[in-house]
Amino acid sequence: MNWRISFSRFLLHIADGLQSVPVFLMRPADLVEFTRDSYARSKLVESWSSSDLVDQGLNINEVTLLERIPVQSGRLLLLGLGGGREAIPLAKQGFAVTGVDFVWEMVAQAKANARRHHVEIEGLVEDLINLEVAHNSFDVIWFSTGSYSYIPSRA
């Protein structure tokens, strides 16, 4: 194999390893602040709330999950609201959606996107690690697999 290709693969491998170093250096509170600051950047807010993404609605795995849950209406807590891609079809399904995101710009964009789709959603600006909701206040808690990356912690 060409030495340039081998060396380039080595450098990419090193770069991948370096991406996880901040997780080991920062305290959990630092990780939350770092992640919030990252998601609050205007380009990322625009990306997560763009019509191209939001109008896609639920993906096939989410549709399958929705079909399998025993509750098909009621109060739904959506963890990781983003621009509303999941919230809008869940509201159209008949759920009263309350979405949580720790970036207020995301919550504002999600609400605007919901209005554009003629549905109402509630939005809470909180981080998922410290979220407090009243016991039995929701019928469904929606936490898609992609949302796991929104909870920065060593665990």
Q: Is 132 exposed, middle or buried (0-12, 13-18, 19+ CB in 10 A)?
A: exposed
Look at 39-43, 74-78, 91-95, 130-134 and tell me which has the smallest mean pLDDT: 130-134
Nearest Cα to Cα of residue 135 among 88, 86, 78, 77: 77
pLDDT of 149 reads: 61
Full-model pTM: 0.79
Question: At CA 41, angle to CA 58 and CA 63, rounded to 5?
Answer: 5
Kind of pairing between the strands at 122-125 and 140-142: unpaired
Domains of the chain (ranges; CATH) run 3-39 (no CATH), 46-145 (3.40.50.150)
Tens of pLDDT, residues 17-72: 777 777 677 777 787 788 788 888 999 899 989 999 999 999 999 999 999 999 98
